DNA sequence: AGCTGGAATTGATCTCCATCAAGGCATTGC
DNA sequence: GCAATGCCTTGATGGAGATCAATTCCAGCT
């Protein structure tokens, strides 16, 4: 962590696959070099924890590849997944002392981590970064509010259908051209049935039954339990509520 | 809206009751004067709509006094309230073309409204404002995720208890000294039973029954249906989950 | 006072999903 | 091969809260 080490560290950002999509996108080369200095790459295995709910907010990170879940729990241990973090997304809680939720890798994951205090300082000094972070946070707030509609008002079928629609969208990085008309799209779910249930506020059994129902109705195919083929997206959308 | 009119407009911000708590708090006098020029005060009656879900994002606003609800609806009209906006809070969706949720006044409300495009431009040019907005948005995201825990995992009793705890907190402007030990605190609910139900993902009947139950158990008193007295906050917290 | 209309409460019944319980089906290690 | 383990699926049952249906309450009006 000393100056010499930092100075010698190669600039990972230049070759970063999410360089143009993450919050660093609007930074110029000089700024990126500075950011590169305070960050470091880290690999997470499935199940490995990056942040612990209620603990001091030490780290923030960009996700380079892989998927993380964000979760909170009640006092007696019931867990609710409150966010899924995909490549180019930001994770962690800047400008606060404690982390309001846990973050855990669902797949093999590469993140670009920063000491929260370093990041806070950098953000305050670089408005373009802060602006990107604001846009991202506003989008995430919109997403979590749509999620609240799902949790508050939708039945099991609508929840599972919505989950599949949303997940296929996120996994394709927001591209809308796929599966819009007729071509089937294939999803590789990064979540187990239990985790899907924790996302949707349901039980594992109910989620499983809905998948089976969709399969029987010809709305999806399941080559394996984590691989979902959607032959006709509109049929799925019709069950979204 | 012409220049002369704007120049003559008195600087409302100087006397603003939320001047030090809203996102304008860190602006200097000159910046506030500029912001004052592009904003205007507006009064909303209970039930009056400020933003329409899915419409163009024309306005953003600060709430000076009163309470607003934010809501989204499914295609077939089921409504979910996804946010409550109290004095000094910000409402609206900067940096986007459409408003993702509706906003409607629950009480007599004073807001300080801006054309979204004016506000966006001002924010980009004034990092201190954008920083405040970011902090607020991050806090709101935390809040909405806790809300997701409520909607996804809590039973009716826990939801209503959590709602009362949260509401008393927000109405007191975040002060923690009240009701902490023994003194009873009194809440004047800005929401009808139906609206509380829409916040909590329950029906009006279930909410009503929970209130009755709490009253019978001596955890709350109800001088009127919208006035709640909490003699012992810890007894309520114990039912929070 | 008496009337009126919207909101809240209370009761009776039903339904969807949670819960409980078993069995299927892969993968891993011996 | 075949136990063992973990995940998923399927079936049977029960219960929390939704739904349907009356009252009751209360503020505003005449």
Taking contacts as CB-CB distances below 8 angstroms, the residues of chain A near B144 are 141, 144-145, 148
Interval A77-133: pLDDT, tens? 999 999 999 999 999 999 999 999 999 999 999 999 999 999 999 999 999 999 999
**Which two structure tokens, joined as six digits, stand for B107?**
């009480």
D5 C1' – A196 CA distance, angstroms? 22
* Burial profile B140-168: b = 16 or more Cβ within 10 angstroms, e = fewer: bbbbbbebbbbbbbbebbbbbbbbbbbbb
Of A93, A127, A152, the CB nearest to B130: A127
The lowest-confidence range among A24-33, B6-15, B79-88 is B6-15
CB B94 within 8 A of CB B60: yes
Distance (Å) from the C-alpha of residue A8 to the closest C-alpha of chain B?
Answer: 32
Residue B77, Ramachandran bin (φ over 0: left; ψ between -120 and 50: alpha; else beta): left
CB B138 within 8 A of CB B52: no
For residue B85, pLDDT over 70 is answered with: yes
Residues sharing a CB contact under 8 Å with residue A107, sequence separation 6 or more, in sequence order: A46, A66, A67, A190
d(CA A68, CA B196): 33
For residue B239, pLDDT over 90 is answered with: yes
Interval A126-169: pLDDT, tens? 999 999 999 999 999 999 999 999 999 999 999 999 999 999 99
Contact criterion met (CB < 8 Å) for A144 and B148 = yes
Taking contacts as CB-CB distances below 8 angstroms, the residues of chain A near B148 are 72, 80, 82, 144, 147-148, 151
Supply the mean pLDDT for chain B. Answer: 92
Q: Which CATH architecture has domain B3-148?
A: Sandwich (2.60)
d(CA B72, CA B133): 22
**Is residue B179 very low, low, confident or very high in pLDDT (cuts 50, 70, 90)?**
very low
pLDDT at A176: 56
Q: Which CATH architecture has domain B155-237?
A: Orthogonal Bundle (1.10)
Asked whether residue A241, judged by its CB, lies under 7 Å from any atom of the DNA or RNA strand D, the reply is no
Number of neighbouring beta carbons within 10 Å of residue B210: 23
**Angle ∠(B31,B32,B37) on CA atoms, nearest 5:** 100
Name the residue of chain A whose CA is nearest to B126's CA.
A127
CB B110 within 8 A of CB B43: yes
Residue B92, Ramachandran bin (φ over 0: left; ψ between -120 and 50: alpha; else beta): left
Distance (Å) from the C-alpha of residue A110 to the closest C-alpha of chain B?
Answer: 24
Q: Which of B15, B8, B31, B235 is nearest to B132 (CA)?
A: B31
d(CA A69, CA A79): 11
Structural domain boundaries of chain A? 3-148, 155-237
Contact criterion met (CB < 8 Å) for B94 and A152 = no
Asked whether residue B74, judged by its CB, lies under 7 Å from any atom of the DNA or RNA strand D, the reply is no
d(CA B176, CA B173): 9
């Amino acid at each position: 962590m000393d100056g010499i080490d930092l100075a010698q560290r190669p600039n990972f950002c230049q070759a970063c696959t999410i360089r143009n999509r993450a919050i660093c996108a609007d930074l110029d080369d000089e700024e990126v070099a500075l950011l590169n200095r305070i960050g470091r790459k880290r690999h997470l295995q499935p199940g490995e924890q990056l942040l612990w709910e209620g603990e001091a907010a030490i780290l923030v990170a960009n996700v380079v590849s892989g998927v993380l879940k964000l979760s909170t729990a009640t006092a007696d241990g019931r867990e609710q997944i409150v966010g899924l973090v995909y490549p180019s997304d930001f994770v962690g809680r800047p400008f606060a002392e404690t982390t309001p939720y846990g973050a855990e890798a669902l797949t093999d994951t590469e993140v670009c981590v920063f000491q929260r205090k370093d990041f806070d300082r950098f953000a305050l000094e670089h408005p373009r970064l802060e602006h990107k972070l604001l846009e991202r946070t506003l989008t995430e707030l919109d997403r979590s509010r749509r999620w609240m509609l799902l949790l508050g008002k939708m039945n099991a079928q609508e929840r599972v259908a919505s989950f599949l629609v949303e997940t296929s969208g996120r996994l394709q990085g927001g591209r809308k051209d796929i599966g819009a008309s007729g071509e089937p799209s294939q999803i590789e779910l990064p979540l187990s049935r239990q985790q899907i249930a924790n996302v949707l506020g349901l039980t594992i059994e109910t989620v499983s039954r809905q998948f089976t129902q969709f399969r029987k109705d010809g709305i999806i195919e399941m080559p394996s339990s984590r691989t979902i083929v959607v032959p006709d997206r509109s049929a799925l959308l019709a069950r979204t509520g």
